[in-house]
Amino acid sequence: MMHANLSDKAERAARGRVVLLMIGAVVVGTAAFLRTTDTSPTAEGLGWILLMAAWSVVLATGGGLALNKRMRDLLNDELSIANRNRAISWGFFAMLLASAVLLTLAGKAFDASGAIRIVTASGLAVAMARYAMLEWR
């Protein structure tokens, strides 16, 4: 019974992670197009780097860092790792696509830092959304 409880908890945690990943995809995707108005470029850039780093950690580790090892192992089992690898592959191609789109708009709509935001956010947001979709099945 204790094992079943652990398995149930892991399944609930996996569902929670799906929700977290979808929220992350929306936050990162939205933040790429928003700029704070009263911060220096340095602070703004640092904020962006921290945001990307935080969500990258969630994507790279599968989250659940506060859980015990047994739960983390169940949460990040073979299927989940395979799903994550596929999702990161989608993110890579999303970055290439975003770069190609920005190249066609070069000099028109975005400066360098804006372009970097959109390219990196595209990759991360698509990877997180895809991971969530694969884990939802």
Q: Which residues bind other proteins (CB under 8 A)?
A: 3-4, 6-7, 10-11, 14, 73-75, 77-80, 82, 137
Q: What is the DSSP string of 77-111?
A: -HHHHHHHHHHHHHHHHHHHHHHHHHHHTTTTS--
CB of 10 to other proteins, least distance (A): 6
Beta carbon nearer to other proteins, 74 or 88: 74
- Which residue lies nearer to other proteins by CB, 108 or 137? 137
**Longest C-alpha distance within the chain, in Å?**
63
CB of 58 to other proteins, least distance (A): 19
Chain-centre distance of CA 73, in angstroms? 20
| Length of the chain counted residue by residue | 137
Quick one: 60 or 82, whose CB is closer to other proteins?
82
